[in-house]
Structures are given as C-alpha cells and as structure tokens.
Structure 1
Amino acid sequence: MNEQLEGGHRPRFQPAWLGPRYWPTWLGLGFFALLALAPKVVRRSLARWVGNYWYRRNQRRRSVVEANLRLCFPDWGEEQRAEVARDSFRVMAQASLDYALLWWAPARYLDRIIRVEGWEHVEAALRDGHNVVMFTGHSAALDALGVAITRRMPTVGMMQRVKNPIIDWLIARGRTRFQGKVYLRDAGLRPILQDMRAGLAFYYQPDEDLAHVPGSEWVFAPFFGEPKATLTSLGRLTKIARARAIPCMGYSERDGSGWRVRFDPPLEGFPSGDAESDATAMNTALERLVAADPAQYMWTLRWFKTRPEGVPTPYPSRRRGTGEDET
C-alpha cells in the first residue's frame, strides 16, 4: 500500500532552499503544519474567515467565478449565485488549509477521513481485464481524490510545474507519497501510455481549456449547455489503452472533518469514434459530479476562455487599462 513508484517528476530537495530567499515559504509551511494538528473546528473557522476575505478582496477572481456561474446556471437567481460564489471561496480556503494533512498525516488517518463511494466500479473494470482511466474535474479536493486512489492501486498522473520550487517539491512528493507517479504536463501522453501498459491506472484531469497550447486537439462541446473548448484526448487514450473511462470527483466536507470521494459507473459505449460525441459524453459526466455540490468546483478558472467565432469573452481583462486577457 505504501510502496512508491520510480520515475516521473520527482524533484529532489536542494540545500539552497534553506537560504533567506525561501524563509517566508518555510514560515508559511510551518504554520500549515501546526494547523494540521489543530482541532477541526479551528481549521473550519479559519477557512471560513479566509474564504470570506478572498471573496471580498479578490475582485478579479470573484468576477471570473460570477461569470462562470452565470453561464452554467442561468436559471439561478442572483442571490443563489452569490451564495455559491462565496461558498466556493470558503471551500478553496478549507482545501488549502488541509494540504498539510495530505502531505504529512499518517496513512491510516487519511484512510479514515477520506470516505470513498463507488470504488466497486473500478474493481469491476479491473476484474473484466480492462485498464482504467479515472477522469475528474478541477475540484478543491483534487489531491484528496488522488490520495484515495493511490492508497488502493498504482496510479500515474500529470501536474503543472509550480514556480516556487519548494511547493513544487512538496506537491510532487505528496502525489507520489503512496502508489503514485506523476509527469509534468509537457511530457505528453506517451509515458502515460507506457505506464498503463505496465498495469498502472491513469488519474486524469481533462477539463481545462488548453486550446491555446500548441498541439492540443480539442472541439467545442457543451458544458452546462455552454460551448466549451474540450480536449479529445480521453477518447483517444481509452481506445489505445483498451481502458474504461470512470468519472470521479473529490469533495471537501464542510465541517472540516475530511473528504468524500465519488466514483460513477464507467462511460458506456465510450469511445464512440466521434471526437465531438466523446467530448460531450465526458463533459456530461463531469456536469453530474459538479452539480452534486457546485461550490466545490474551481470556478476561479476561466473555463470558457476560448469562444466560438463572434462570441465575446465573458471575463474581465487581466490588466487594467489593457485589453489583454489572462491565459
């Protein structure tokens, strides 16, 4: 259960990280480590305060959240959208404060506070001789879901390099703590396929709008009824690897007691061979998981950055006084 896998992105600790330049990072990490020992009521109260503060002070991110919610939930009233927006900041704060638990808490403790629903769908696919791709969206509990999976089977995933090398080291270390292996996103899917052929599952987050990345293959597919630039890689990957595509998502418990992770049945008739139909099936599965608790999704990301021709962006420009959009 605790055997670590070799290879992938596994940065090594550097003595230079102990220098004055990184002292603020270490002070912050020390605070997080102490907070992990605090009663859950303390973490919950602090997360609520931090989330409310982020909501009030980060006007740009709040406007992205509000734009996303208007597009995806047009039938909601303004009051409901505002409450979900506030709650999403609180959930993100809770997830941030709980990272220390995922990085350092004992394995048995994590097994107790991460509640798993639907793992039988993964077991059934494996019994039938299939490889598995467990795909999810960017929820606040993304790493808790990864821990739940790697506690149960050898798994490969992908991550984006973090600018701060200490945080990059800790995230990679946390995601490979158990039976996990990660590659940087720019490594592509070739090493993933090699690992899947060796028996590893793939934990995949294909919901980002990467239309601006050279070489990305995507189509417009509906997400909550709104056209979204959607990667087509899930269909191609499951076909090549002869895998079942299993939707899943993690959710932070509001009382700070841990996480709940959910696995839905694998997509039927997938892949179909039609890129647009497969992208739509993937987005529909993710919609169900997001709709179970909308505030858990990372609405701060610009999911609809790429627009059909003639459709304006719903987001504010990144820099005041310029027309430049953030990437």
Structure 2
Amino acid sequence: MSKHRKSVRETQYSKYLHPRWWPTWVLIGLMWLMAQLPLRVQWLLGKGIGELAYRLIPRRRHIAEVNIRLCFPELSPEAQQALVRKTFHSNGIGMMEIGLAWFRRPQAYRAITTVHGLEHLESALDKGNGVLLLGGHYSTLDLGGSLVSLFIEADVMQRDHNNPLLNAVMTRARERRYGVALNSKDLRGLLKRLKQNRTIWYATDQDYGRKGIVFAPFFNVPAGSITATSRIAERSGCAVVPFSHFRREDSLGYDIYFHAPLDNFPSGDDLADATLVNHTIEQEVRRHPDQYLWMHRRFKTRPSPDDPDFYRKPD
C-alpha cells in the first residue's frame, strides 16, 4: 500500500465506533438490508428513487437538461426531457446497485451477465506492459466493477469518499473484488501496478478543472479533457482498452464490453489523443444514453474564462 493511501485512509471498522459515526452505520445497515431484496424489486425501488430525485432536486435536473440539450440537439425538446427523466431513473437504480456491489457476491449474478470482447484484453496483457481500462461514469459504475471481477483480475483508481466511514466500506468492498483500490492521485502507485502487468480501471470523463487539460470535443461540444491518459501510456507503454458496462433494458441482466486497444496511442498530439478518448467514450454512451451520469457538469470549464456558463440559469 502506498504512503499516500496510508495518509488519507483508515479502513479498520474499529476506528468508527464513536457515536458520531452511528448515523452512517444506520445508512450502511439500510444499504445492506436493501441489497438482500430481489433484483427486480431493487430496480423498481431505484426507479422510484430516481423519480423523486427528478422532482425534488431541481439543480441536478437542470444540469442534466443542459447536458442533454447540448449533446443531443437532434432530439425534440420533448424527447430531450424524456431522456432526462429516464436518466434519473437509471441513476436511481445505480444507487441501489451500490449495495449489491458492496455487500453481495458477484457470483449471484453470473448467470445474467454477458461479457463481450474479452479477447481484446487478453491479447493486450500478452504484451506485458499492463492495461488501462478506459471506463466512464455509467450508472452501473460500482456493480459493473464487481461483475467484471468474475472474468478478470484488475485494480481500480478511485476518488475517495468525503465520509471516511463510507470510504472505508467502499474501499474494502472494492479491494475484495479488485486487487488494489488506488487513490486517484496516486500516479506512482498506478505506474508501479502497470509495471507488474496489471489491469487498472481508469476514467477520464469528468471536468477536473483547468489544470493539465486540452479542450477536445465530447458530443461536438468542447470539453476540458485531461492529458494524463497520454502521459501514463507514454511512460508505461501500457495498452488503453475501452471498457463499458450496462444494464440490459429488455431483460434482467448486464453486459460488459471490452474493445480493441486504442490505435496509435499516445500519438504525441495531446489534442488528438483527448479527442480519440472522448469519441471512444461517446460511442459507448450512445449504447444506452440514459445510463450515463449526466448530472455532472461536464462542460463547467470553458475554453475561455470569459465564455458564458452553460449551467447558469437566466436571470
């Protein structure tokens, strides 16, 4: 375990016995109880949670509306609003699936999980330089990671939770499924694991501010896009394998997709690399656009500080 991880994490449950942690323990207990329900019941409850969020959290609804209007201009206003609402339903189900990922064994869902393109990952690992799984923030984020452990061994890069107890539960759960849950800032640990020919889940599809970015199109909208993926691939020689996971809408089940490694990556051109990464993620999002985290301000950082804020409501 890296020095950085030791300094910011405490995953021993015995450290969280003080009464101030009891409300969080109650939440964790409720998550555990709900994770024992049949999957179909959880999907129904998740849709209900999503509908409540759609109605009661106008700020997040507004962000999703802006994102979908920018990214799907070909849709009518009615179709855009329907997609916003369905997005909340899908992400509500995703909230329920967090409990499944943390507290249920993935073997329980093996029969309803289908993996596609695993040979792409296997051939990439044969080269011996490790693999970055180019993921995205889909609503199946945690459960998809749990299910993929049925087929491969992998590590994960994660942004630690602000609540230390929830972070302890999340980290321990992920490390039972994955190998190591690396802090998202632990670049040294990431490169070390790649050197050991490990597979590491890695996502770049959020707005991380103005540092270390270029503005590359995402759904034809300039989006602040980090260049770290190119730097990591350049330093390690790893393959970058696109990876996604979705809930099956027509039946009770899940699909996991691996694709051929990005070609000519890194190319030496940060903008070209970021454009390729964004296009790759966009193609996966289009499979099930409602299962993406549209509530995030993906276009918060603008090419010029003087550019208008997409998310500011008119006065």
Structure 1: gaps spanning 5 or more residues: 1-5, 322-327
Q: Provide the C-alpha distance between the structure 2 equivalents of 1:209 and 1:111, rounded to a whole number of angstroms.
A: 34
What does residue 313 of structure 1 align with? 309
Does the 8 Å contact 1:130/1:243 carry over to 2? yes
Pairwise CA distance, 1:290: 0.5
**Helix, strand or coil for the counterpart of 2:193?**
helix
1:197 maps onto 2:192 in alignment = no
CA contact (8 A) 1:136 1:286 kept: yes
Structure-1 residue corresponding to 2:227: 232
Counterpart mapping for 1:259-278 below 5 A: 259-278=254-273
Equivalent-residue separation in structure 2 for 1:256 and 1:54 (angstroms): 25
CA distance in structure 1 between the aligned counterparts of 2:143 and 2:267, rounded to whole angstroms: 31
CA distance in 2, matches of 1:20, 1:122: 46
Q: Which secondary structure state, in structure 2, belongs to the residue aligned with residue 180 of structure 1?
A: coil
* Partner residue, 2:206: 208
May I ask how many residue pairs the two structures share in their alignment?
310
Q: Distance in 2 between matches of 1:111 and 1:241?
A: 33
**In the alignment, is the contact (CA less than 8 A) between 2:87 and 2:291 conserved in 1?**
yes
Q: Helix, strand or coil: the match of 2:194?
A: helix
Structure 2, unaligned runs of 5 or more = none
The whole-number CA distance in structure 2 between the counterparts of 1:48 and 1:178 is 26
Paired residue for 2:59? Answer: 60
**Per the alignment, do residues 179 and 41 of structure 1 end up closer, same or farther by CA in structure 2, a change over 3 Å counting?**
closer
| Runs of 4 or more above 6 Å deviation | none
Deviations 1:155-181 (A, max 9, x none): 332222212222111111121113421
Q: CA deviation at 1:255?
A: 7.2
Identify the residue that residue 135 of structure 2 maps to in structure 1. 136
- Counterpart CA distance in 1 for 2:185 and 2:178 is 22
Q: Does structure 2 retain, via aligned residues, the 8 Å contact 1:142–1:249? A: no
**For residues 105 and 279 of structure 1, what CA distance do their matches in structure 2 show?**
36
Aligned pair partner of 2:236 in 229, 241, 262: 241
Is contact 1:11–1:172 with CA below 8 Å preserved after alignment?
no
In structure 2, the CA distance between the partners of 1:84 and 1:254, relative to structure 1 (3 Å rule), is same
Partner of 1:80: 79
Structure 1: distance between partners of 2:103 and 2:250: 20
* TM-score (norm: length of structure 2): 0.91
Aligned to 2:281: 286
Structure 2: how far apart are the matches of 1:259 and 1:170? Answer: 24
Aligned equivalents of 1:42 and 1:280: distance in 2?
40
The structural deviation recorded for 1:247 is 0.9
* Separation in structure 2 between the aligned mates of residue 233 and residue 121 of structure 1, nearest angstrom: 23
Between the aligned residues of both structures, percent identity stands at 32
